[in-house]
Amino acid sequence: MRRANATRLYYALQILLSMPTWVVMAVYLVQELHLSPLQLVLMGTAMEGAVFLFEIPTGVVADTYSRRLSLIVGYVGMGVTWMLVGVVYAPWLIIAFWGLWGLSYTFTSGAEQAWIADEVGADKVGRVFLKGARIGYVGSVLGLFLQVGVGIFSLRAGVIVGGALTVLAGLICLLVMPETGFRRKPRGERGSALGELRTTAATGARYAWAAPVILLLVGVQLFMGMSAEAFDRLKEAHFLRDVGLPGVGNLDPVVWFGIFWLVGLALGFVATGWLIKRFEQRGRRVVTSSLFTLTAMEMVAMLVFALTGSTWLAIASLLGVFFARDLAGPLYTVWLNEQIKDSSVRATVLSISGQANAIGQAGGGPVLGAIGNVWGIRAALAVGGLVIAPALALYGRAIAHEGREPELEELPATSP
């Protein structure tokens, strides 16, 4: 079968992979399966634990054997486990399947970015990342309406449809995904399977350790992961318990949260289009300056969200966090990819960054949760916002390197 154009396929995948929505899954778990708060938290713990354990090993697989194979395994695994959550009832099985979903996700983390960077070239992939992020907003809206429409008649069916979309992405990759930029070592140069994996892992780790900007960006992910847990888990509770929702129209809280999400998507879609134009005009300079500004904006918005008593100001700051995160994500990927000059370790280095985020979430989440139990949700959210400050300092150090490795000066010749 004829292989697809890599860029077009990447954009199509961004639509498909953005369509499964957590909204229907969350309602299904609470309303039909009656999972307790502890069981819901354990789902997240199982997923983050799997990401922590397997992020780097699966990145090594992508660098050693095939990015295409890694993506097919990941997409099919994510879709199947999502669908299985929709057909089982036992909480322990749901938690286990969500851990398997996290394992499947690690096969795609790093491999997806490494694949498209190799296919279109590292010098051209920045615009592809930004445009892909914008196209993903379209998929999110389409997926929301599709799954909610199905979920009105059956929440279980709505969940299964979400998983089927991800399986479809894996099958499309199996049939038409090209892989021309990645070259596995010739058979005669390869050692044992375990030896190849070990060599790739060691090479990737040494590469990241020797590159100051990559180390700084990995450190940023550690702090951003720590900060994210408080906001992601407590934002709805903050509205319901501390701030309140608007009294306009007597809408159900679920409807309000859906409206917030849709408005955030619309803002991100428009802003990403503007960002693409700036990137085309100014190149890589817009990446570093915009990323620093957006991270500072996220910190300020989180602090305002935590401390304000005004419902409308809380909504504005919530949208500010959504806006900053949505734009910062692809910019971070562009910057990190620029630092990886050796394609053979690209997926491994990207996975190291992903693991740093998982470590931050796993380590910071319980601490911020304990702060919330003792001093309240506002305190946990405020501390989560302040945790971004070290990330800003690391970005500042990275910008001092001008976002790239400084060139080594030629050493003077030694006299006889």
- pLDDT at residue 186 in the model: 60
- pLDDT at residue 416 in the model: 32
Distance, in Å, from the CA atom of 116 to the CA atom of 132, rounded to the nearest integer, reads 11
Per-residue pLDDT tens over the stretch 158-179: 899 999 999 999 999 999 999 9
What confidence category does residue 336 fall into, taking pLDDT thresholds of 50, 70 and 90?
A: confident
The pair of structure tokens assigned to 212 is 């100051």
- pLDDT at residue 191 in the model: 54
Segment 34-50 mean pLDDT? 78
pTM recorded for the entire structure: 0.78
Q: Does 404 score more than 50 pLDDT?
A: no
What confidence category does residue 257 fall into, taking pLDDT thresholds of 50, 70 and 90?
A: confident
- pLDDT at residue 96 in the model: 94
What confidence category does residue 348 fall into, taking pLDDT thresholds of 50, 70 and 90?
A: confident
- pLDDT at residue 87 in the model: 93
- pLDDT at residue 196 in the model: 63
What confidence category does residue 2 fall into, taking pLDDT thresholds of 50, 70 and 90?
A: confident
Q: What are the extents of the domains in the chain?
A: 1-176, 201-403
Mean pLDDT for all residues in the chain: 84
What confidence category does residue 205 fall into, taking pLDDT thresholds of 50, 70 and 90?
A: confident
Q: Which CATH number applies to 1-176?
A: 1.20.1250.20
Distance, in Å, from the CA atom of 353 to the CA atom of 339, rounded to the nearest integer, reads 13
Segment 244-254 mean pLDDT? 77
Per-residue pLDDT tens over the stretch 207-246: 777 778 888 888 999 999 888 877 877 787 788 788 888 8
Q: Does 188 score more than 60 pLDDT?
A: no
Q: Does 74 score more than 50 pLDDT?
A: yes
Contact 31/83 with Cβ under 8 angstroms?
A: no
> Regarding predicted confidence, which is higher, 283 or 138?
138
Contact 369/233 with Cβ under 8 angstroms?
A: yes
For 10-19, 83-92, 356-365, 404-413, which range has the lowest pLDDT when averaged over its residues? Answer: 404-413
Distance, in Å, from the CA atom of 81 to the CA atom of 390, rounded to the nearest integer, reads 36
> Between 1.10.150.130, 3.40.50.1950, 1.20.1250.20, 3.20.20.70, what CATH number should domain 201-403 receive?
1.20.1250.20
Distance, in Å, from the CA atom of 19 to the CA atom of 39, rounded to the nearest integer, reads 25
User: Which element (helix H / strand E) includes 410?
Assistant: none
* Topology match between the domains 1-176 and 201-403: yes
Distance, in Å, from the CA atom of 413 to the CA atom of 416, rounded to the nearest integer, reads 9
> Regarding predicted confidence, which is higher, 170 or 264?
170
